[in-house]
Amino acid sequence: MPRLLIPVTEKDHRIGTFPALATLVEYGDYQCLTCRMAVPVMKQLLRELNGQLCVVFRHFPLKITHPYAKIAAEAAEAAAMQNKFWEMHELLYTKQFSMKPGLFHELAEELNLDLVQFDQDIASPAIAHKIEAEFDAAIRSGVNGTPCFYINEERYDGDPSYANLKLALQKACH
């Protein structure tokens, strides 16, 4: 079974308790429909496993099949520079079917971000490097599509439905 090679740290985009009894890492792509469907599942799991779960999102943009995946990841990272990663994360999935070149600036405006700073950050080599590093680490960990989940550093290849993920996470908590 493939394992997560890069452990979760304070630098990851995380929500929930850290450290936690169960850590769920998702490698995702903002144009992946299944990743979009995972958002409410993650929210429900965080509510129900309150205090026991940490959810982490890492970028795995499938640039060949999803033309806006990389720029969407860059927009999320640029929002993170203004402490709005999770807000942008959710908006990107909400607007998944409307992705076009000007959308990301519109979303930054909707989040009341400093637009000059956002424009500088989204184009920054540091953000591009971070996304590329996460993608490369994912490949080394055995990721070959999205979403790809790891529970406590072990790859989860089961059905990503709420019921199945909850069962696997509850097992990880004990």
Per-residue pLDDT of the chain (174 residues; tens, 9 = 90+): 789 999 999 999 999 989 999 999 999 999 999 999 999 999 999 999 988 999 999 999 999 999 999 999 999 999 999 999 999 999 999 999 999 989 999 999 999 999 999 999 999 999 999 999 999 999 999 999 999 999 999 999 999 999 999 999 999 987
Fold (CATH) for 13-173: Glutaredoxin (3.40.30)
Half-sphere exposure of 167 (CA within 13 A, CB side): 7
- Alpha-carbon span 137 to 112, nearest angstrom: 32
Per-residue buried b or exposed e for 141-157, using 16+ beta carbons within 10 Å of the residue's own CB: bebeebbbbbbbeebbe
